Amino acid sequence: MFKARMKFAKEGRAKYISHLDLMHAMQRSMARCQMPLWFTEGFNQHAYVSVALPLSTGYSGECEFLDFNITAEAVPENAVEALNDVFPEGLRAIEIYPLADGGMKVGSIEWSQYRITWGFEDGTPKGFADDVRNLFRRPMVEIVKRSKRGEKTVNMRELMRDLTVTDGPDEVTAVVTTAAGNNNMSPEYLTRAIRQYLPQYEIPFSAYHRMNVFTSDGTPFR
């Protein structure tokens, strides 16, 4: 038996699958393509799978990771294709590989890169993109951040970097890297900050897509 990791994408209709449901969907997909999965041996036996940094329901992502144990000697040939043949729409396996020495630890993830899309009913309001750029150029953007330990006012500029904003006719997209792991800041806080500091803009639609995850020194996690 050895540990394996799958890099996968969760897009389209699949972005509404919640974390717990995603694990069931993964277990059932694996059963459909007869992946030699290791099962827990307790009272309630089940295939062991674990998702690194689960996405919020409604977010899409192309850099998701699922860890599981394989009872065979090696990852079955064509495992990626076999899974993609039996996945629900919107889930896509990208790569499956064994984890030598346990692989990179999920706890080492410190940054996530997101693409945020702000959409509008009747075209992008004039000046929106520039105002957003200027807002996040300020050294200090204070927001109230909620966590399990309660509410805290933080300077969100310290929890984000590398923001680029691209203007479009009906929507504006931003690519940004935000803190993950212990200091996690959801990209939704950017939308909240805009609503708070630039209240003149109405943002009817916002979508979030995770593009990449990194360790503290900027190495892509795998």
Partner 1 sequence: MHKKMEAILSRVQKPARYVGGEWGSVMKDKKNIDLRFAFCFPDTYEVAMSHLGSRILYGLLNDQKGIWCERVCAPWIDMEAEMREAGLPLYGLESGDPLYDFDIIAFTLQYELSFSNILNMLDLGGIPVLAKDRTELKHIVACGGPCAYNPEPLADFVDLFMIGDGEEIMLEFTDLYRKAKREGWSKQEFLIAAAQIEGMYVPSLYEVKYHENGTIESVTPTHGAPALVQKRIVKDLDTMYYPESFVVPSTDIVFDRAMIELFRGCPRGCRFCQAGHTYRPLRTKSKEVLLKQAQAVLKNSGYEEISLSSLSTSDYGELSGLTECMLDYCEPRHISLSLPSLRADSFSAELMERVQKTRKSGLTFACEAGTQRLRDVINKNIREEDVLHACEIAFQGGWNNVKLYFMMGLPTETYEDLDGISDICKKVAYCWRENTPNRARGVRITASASCFVPKPQTPFQWDAQDTLEQFREKQAHLKVVMKTKNVTYNWHDAETSVLEGVIARGDRRQGKAILLAWQRGCKMDGWDQCFDFDKWMQAFRDCGLDPEFYASRQRPMDEVFPWDHIGCGTRKEHLKREWERSREAAITPDCMHQCAGCGASALLKGGKCHV
Instruction: Please report, as ranges, the residues that interact with partner 1 according to CB under 8 A.
Output: 12-14, 16-18, 20-22, 24-25, 27-32, 39, 44-47, 57-58, 86-90, 119, 204-205, 207
Reported as half-sphere exposure (CB side, CA atoms, 13 A), residue 167 has a value of 12
- Report the residue number, 60 or 215, with the smaller CB distance to partner 1: 60
Q: How far is the CB of 40 from partner 1 (least distance, A)?
A: 10
- Report the residue number, 58 or 107, with the smaller CB distance to partner 1: 58
Task: Give the end-to-end CA distance of the chain in Å, rounded to a whole number.
Answer: 20
Assigned token pair, 201: 């803009």
Q: How far is the CB of 36 from partner 1 (least distance, A)?
A: 11
Assigned token pair, 145: 């951040």
Tell me the β-bridge partners of 40. Answer: none
Backbone angles phi, psi at 185, to 5 degrees: -125, 120
Residues 72, 73, 78, 82, Cα dihedral to 10°: 10
Q: How far is the CB of 54 from partner 1 (least distance, A)?
A: 14
Q: How far is the CB of 108 from partner 1 (least distance, A)?
A: 30
Q: How far is the CB of 63 from partner 1 (least distance, A)?
A: 20
- Report the residue number, 68 or 221, with the smaller CB distance to partner 1: 68
- Report the residue number, 30 or 159, with the smaller CB distance to partner 1: 30
For residue 35, what are the contacts with CB-CB under 8 A and spacing of at least 6?
70, 76, 79, 82, 83
- Report the residue number, 44 or 200, with the smaller CB distance to partner 1: 44
Q: How far is the CB of 55 from partner 1 (least distance, A)?
A: 13
- Report the residue number, 97 or 205, with the smaller CB distance to partner 1: 205
Element (H, E) at 162: strand 160-166
Assigned token pair, 189: 């806080």
